[in-house]
Structure 1
Amino acid sequence: RGLLAARSPLLALLLHLIAALERQIFDFLGYQWVPILANFLHIMAVILGIFGTIQYRSKYLIMYAVWLVLWVGWNAFIICFYLEVGHLSQDRDFIMTFNTSLHRSWWMENGPGCLVTPVMNSNLAPEDHHVITVTGCLLDYQYIEVVSSAMQIFLALFGFVYACYVSKVFLEEEDSFDFIGGFDSYGYQAPQKTSHLQLQPLYT
């Protein structure tokens, strides 16, 4: 029963995987290479957690739980970055793109209600880039990114509790499992040697 109950939240892990894939797609569209790398590692960790659940591998679940701690820290950094907490600034392109391109969230131009207007012949645009103005957004892109990261943190916290619980159940099941005909100190007894007495006739 313990193993069956441990597998029941597997659907939540699949939801976690879908959320990670969705975020990876939008980061690809925005050419944000650092988040793309982090998302890739996260997707691998979620797959490892799913595999550990299906195959009863507690070590895999422990590795998944350790990664979730790092994942929460990364998403907390993303929230601080978009809200420009402290000395963080969205103008520092190298933080998200390894300084290979301009940092731009896909939601900046494609958010709900956003109207994009290109600015022609602008001297502010670097080479091979253009300047745009975005107006009418119902929700600014930075808040969409913050909500996305907050959802990832929520899923990660749930996944961490789940991984700890399931790995504990698996370890308890492994400790209590007794192989039939095994060689434990209580269930196995070595065969006893029987002595044979030689009978001799008695003479009176």
Structure 2
Amino acid sequence: MGRCNGRCTLVGFCCLQLIAALERQIFDFLGYQWVPILANFLHIMAVILGIFGTIQYRSKYLIMYAVWLVLWVGWNAFIICFYLEVGHLSQDRDFIMTFNTSLHRSWWMENGPGCLVTPVVNSNLAPEDHHVITVTGCLVDYQYIEVVSSAMQIFLALFGFVYACYVSKVFLEEEDSFDFIGGFDSYGYQAPQKTSHLQLQPLYTGARTSGAQWFQKPRHEEGHGLQPSLQ
């Protein structure tokens, strides 16, 4: 029962992780942030691997899923530090999120709750084929929305890591116990052999027949050797 509860809980956390990753992937696509898009794709594949390993009792898949969660926590911690500009990180470095292929940042920068976007006409600051806008009136700044999203990913990843280690440990213990009782020792298995309780004994008859005739004598009778019977 405890094992079933652990498996069901892990599958539930994996489903929550999958939903959160798909939601984040959509908004990163809208913001053309290619590095987070690649990271989200790898995370989705790892979560699917974790679900498959949990359902199919594959401890190796769960170990791979747990290792990825450690990397995923580190990536989201970097995202938090990036948007909060911790240390030498700055949001002016677009190449960190977009491979330097566009000027787009977070989709929430222009589409956050209460944000009012005003285009600036004839601005000399706009690069070629781009325009300058001003964003005002946001109830929550976009960087805090990204921070909350990354913090939620870390929260789900930590719980998923704990349950993945627990369930994989249970699977490994069951495999070891099954090997100990000879569950996989197919070559050592021998089919039961039938034992006969009867033994053939020679029977010698008169002159009318040549040779000896054999009859079956119970083994429990005295004299288990070959005994001739003369008539």
TM bucket (normalised to shorter chain) is 0.7 to 0.9
Q: 1:130-187, CA deviations, whole angstroms, 9 ceiling, x for partnerless residues?
A: 1110001000000000000000000100110011011011111222237998575999
In structure 2, how many angstroms separate the alpha carbons of the residues matched to 1:130 and 1:28? 20
CA RMSD of aligned residues (A): 3.1
What is the aligned residue count? Answer: 201
Q: 1:55-107, CA deviations, whole angstroms, 9 ceiling, x for partnerless residues?
A: 11000000000000000000000000000111111111110000101131000
In structure 2, how many angstroms separate the alpha carbons of the residues matched to 1:27 and 1:98? 14
User: Structure 2 vs 1, CA of residues 119 and 175 (structure 1 numbering), >3 Å: closer, same or farther?
Assistant: same
Which residue number in structure 2 is paired with residue 38 of structure 1? Answer: 39
User: Structure 2 vs 1, CA of residues 43 and 185 (structure 1 numbering), >3 Å: closer, same or farther?
Assistant: closer
Comparing both structures, which one devotes a greater share of its residues to helix?
A: 1
The offset of 1:4, in angstroms, is 1.7
| Alpha-carbon contact 2:178-2:184 (below 8 Å) kept | no
In structure 1, how many angstroms separate the alpha carbons of the residues matched to 2:67 and 2:182? 37
- Secondary structure (helix, strand or coil) at the match of 1:132 reads strand
In structure 2, how many angstroms separate the alpha carbons of the residues matched to 1:127 and 1:41? 34
User: Structure 2 vs 1, CA of residues 55 and 134 (structure 1 numbering), >3 Å: closer, same or farther?
Assistant: same
User: Structure 2 vs 1, CA of residues 183 and 152 (structure 1 numbering), >3 Å: closer, same or farther?
Assistant: closer
In structure 2, how many angstroms separate the alpha carbons of the residues matched to 1:196 and 1:12? 61
| Alpha-carbon contact 2:10-2:164 (below 8 Å) kept | no
Question: TM-score if structure 1 supplies the norm length?
Answer: 0.87
* Structure possessing the higher radius of gyration over alpha carbons: 2
- Secondary structure (helix, strand or coil) at the match of 2:202 reads coil
| Alpha-carbon contact 2:10-2:160 (below 8 Å) kept | no
Q: 1:2-56, CA deviations, whole angstroms, 9 ceiling, x for partnerless residues?
A: 442232214533x110000000000000000000000000000000000001111
- Report % sequence identity: 94
Higher relative contact order (CA 8 A, sep 6+): 1
The offset of 1:194, in angstroms, is 8.1
- Secondary structure (helix, strand or coil) at the match of 1:85 reads coil
User: Structure 2 vs 1, CA of residues 172 and 119 (structure 1 numbering), >3 Å: closer, same or farther?
Assistant: same
| Alpha-carbon contact 1:118-1:131 (below 8 Å) kept | yes
Mean CA deviation greater in 2-11 or 161-170: 2-11
Mean CA deviation greater in 180-189 or 46-55: 180-189
In structure 1, how many angstroms separate the alpha carbons of the residues matched to 2:195 and 2:39? 69
Mean CA deviation greater in 171-180 or 102-111: 171-180
User: Structure 2 vs 1, CA of residues 18 and 95 (structure 1 numbering), >3 Å: closer, same or farther?
Assistant: same
- Secondary structure (helix, strand or coil) at the match of 2:174 reads helix
| Alpha-carbon contact 1:33-1:96 (below 8 Å) kept | yes
In structure 1, how many angstroms separate the alpha carbons of the residues matched to 2:141 and 2:80? 14
Which residue number in structure 1 is paired with residue 104 of structure 2? Answer: 103
Comparing both structures, which one devotes a greater share of its residues to strand?
A: 2
Which residue number in structure 1 is paired with residue 133 of structure 2? Answer: 132
